[in-house]
Homo-oligomer: A and B are copies of this chain.
Amino acid sequence: MLDVCLLGTGGMMPLPYRWLTSCMMRYNGSNLLIDSGEGTQIAIRDKGWSVNPIDVILFTHFHADHISGLPGLLLAMANAERKDPVLLVGPKGLERVVTNLRVIAPDLPFELRFHELSGEMEDLEVKDFRIRAFRVRHNVTCYGYRVRIDRNGRFDAARAKELEIPLKYWNPLQKGQTIEDNGRILTPDMVLGAPRKGLQVTYCTDTRPTDSIREAAKGSDLFICEGMYGDEDKISDAKKKKHMMMQEAATLAAEAEVGEMWLTHFSPSVSYPENYAPVINRIFPRTCFVKDGHSADLLFEDEEET
């Protein structure tokens, strides 16, 4: 089960009752965060989720509404007794920007590690999160992220017994480890069926529609995408400021055949995004105009809600 929460849905500036857009995912005891604008730490607290297990923070870009909450968040993590290193991922310049912001958070009880992206696409792994960063098109260098959780094949107990594999190795093998047992090499494929369908979430804000988004999002269970404006006459603003219309997001969702789309990063001028639902649902019916703090437990195909 992968928990996904859209902590906020605001774009450009935080508003009362509309936090800035950021997203947290939880899987197997590890948390991943995308962006942290002003107030993100409060939105996390509001949701009742924890800042301590955040192992990685992915930044789309360095406009203030996507990173201004970082110093406060890091201090909150320190306060929650985080000790393990935290990996920060983002466009080139990440370490310089973060180092500057840390003028007010110089002492942290954990190490910050940096991974600066370059090029059009990059894959990395953090715990169970298989992350793909892909370039999108904003007025500064900006990335979208796809997060995938793989799922091993089903464990075949009958086969394990048949092969006389001691019980103590079942769990490590199930987790993908290779074992040496008195000179005999035991590999996961001996006891696991074919890999099963995993879970996939694609996230992008602050961009015009691009092929890179369409390709990354292809077949995603959940597609979280900016829908800055809904009024058709805002298209020139969207093009000029390199943002996306709700209609364009819905078209991408349809083309990428995603399971569900959550719209976010609404312009402060859009008071009731859900008013555009009749129009947008005609393009892509499984669109949610979610509110801040909306979350979903994404389940593997044959998994049951716990």
The residues of B that contact A12 with a CB separation of less than 8 Å are 79
Beta-carbon contact of B69 and A38 below 8 Å: yes
Contact call B14/A39, Cβ cutoff below 8 A: yes
A101 touches which of B16, B37, B79, B100 (Cβ 8 Å): B100
Q: Chain A 13-50, CB within 8 Å of chain B: the 1/0 string?
A: 11110000000000000000000011101100110000
- A68: which B residues are within 8 A, CB to CB? 38, 68-69, 71-72, 104
Nearest B residue (CB) for A105: B64
Instruction: From A97, A101, A104, name the one whose CB has the most chain B CB atoms within 10 angstroms.
Output: A104
Rounded to whole Å, the gap between the CB of A100 and the closest CB of chain B is 4
Interfacial chain B residues near A196, Cβ < 8 Å: none
CB closest residue in chain B, given A39? B39
**Copy number of this protein in the oligomer?**
2
Q: Which residues does chain B contribute within 8 Å of A96, judged by CB atoms?
A: 103
Residues on B with beta carbons closer than 8 Å to the beta carbon of A67:
104
Cα A254 to Cα B149 in complex, Å, equals 62
Q: Complex Cα distance A62/B96, Å?
A: 20
19 A-B interface contacts by CB (under 8 A): A13-B76, A14-B41, A14-B42, A15-B42, A38-B38, A38-B41, A38-B68, A64-B71, A64-B75, A64-B104, A64-B105, A65-B72, A67-B104, A68-B68, A68-B71, A96-B103, A100-B101, A100-B103, A101-B104
